Amino acid sequence: MKFEIRQRDRRALILLLLAWAIYGAAEWVVLPAYDRLAAAQDRAADKEKQLRRYRRAELRKGQYADLLKVADARVKQNESVVIAASNLSLASAELQSLVEGTANKVGVMLGQRLIGAPRRLNDYFAEIPMTMSFESTPGQVVSFLNELRSLPRFVTVRALQITPVAPVFEAPKGSDLTKNVRVSITCGALTSADLLKAEVTKK
């Protein structure tokens, strides 16, 4: 029996073999090469990102020292207005000294003085209150408040009550009218919140 391949079958067989060869080339050569190329592109992109970060770091390297100096100066400036002491007693004594010095400067004689219990404002600062009373002229009150505001430490007025020493209900007859006022004031100064922690630890 003689096996004969027709021309049409021969062409179909050739096309089949050609398709198989193309598929094999794509499967074993083209696709692996494409995968390697894609992986190489990803690695190149990562290296490029790293290089950009390194360049930015190099450019900013000289600025870090300046930024640290600015930050240090700001921290020192902020700390300079806070009463720095090793314990609450010394912080309270400094506040009392500041207030008494201010009163002496404007000619005010302080009467009763009371240092209150400090209270925490946040994780960094606490406030020490001080209540006092005195008699003075209205001008001395204004000068006293201005001097408190210009102190090297941050001292705020929390409460202020001013009443005349001699209330006037009618025009005085034959006697001078006193203009003095009676002042009750509560002010507060900032200190470190760590002092409160230390006080609690002692107890």
- The answer to whether residues 73 and 99 belong to one domain is no
- Last residue of one domain, picked from the residues 45, 63, 80: 80
Distance CA 13, CA 5 (A): 10
- The answer to whether residues 46 and 92 belong to one domain is no
pLDDT at residue number 55: 76
pLDDT tens readout for residues 168-202: 555 556 555 557 899 999 999 888 888 877 665 55
Mean of pLDDT values over 6-34: 68
pLDDT tens readout for residues 35-77: 666 666 777 777 788 888 877 777 666 666 666 676 666 656 6
> Which domain range does residue 15 map to?
1-80
- Last residue of one domain, picked from the residues 45, 80, 115: 80
Length of the chain: 203
Beta bridge partners of 130: 115, 187
Residue type, position 49, single letter? K
Residue type, position 108, single letter? V
- The answer to whether residues 119 and 143 belong to one domain is yes
Which of the residue ranges 95-99, 119-123, 130-134, 199-203 would you say has the lowest mean pLDDT? Answer: 199-203
- The answer to whether residues 61 and 113 belong to one domain is no
- The answer to whether residues 45 and 71 belong to one domain is yes
Whole-prediction pTM: 0.57
pLDDT at residue number 144: 93
Distance CA 135, CA 139 (A): 12
CB-CB neighbours of 148 under 10 Å? 20
- The answer to whether residues 72 and 100 belong to one domain is no
**Domain tally, the chain:** 2
Q: Is the pLDDT of residue 137 over 70?
A: yes
- The answer to whether residues 187 and 93 belong to one domain is yes
- Last residue of one domain, picked from the residues 80, 115, 145: 80
Distance CA 189, CA 125 (A): 10
- The answer to whether residues 23 and 93 belong to one domain is no
Distance CA 172, CA 178 (A): 10
Distance CA 163, CA 141 (A): 12
Which of the residue ranges 55-64, 118-127, 129-138 would you say has the lowest mean pLDDT? Answer: 55-64
- The answer to whether residues 109 and 193 belong to one domain is yes
CB 152 within 8 A of CB 46: no
Helix (H, G, I), strand (E, B) or coil at 158: strand
- The answer to whether residues 57 and 93 belong to one domain is no
Distance CA 90, CA 195 (A): 10
Mean of pLDDT values over 75-87: 72
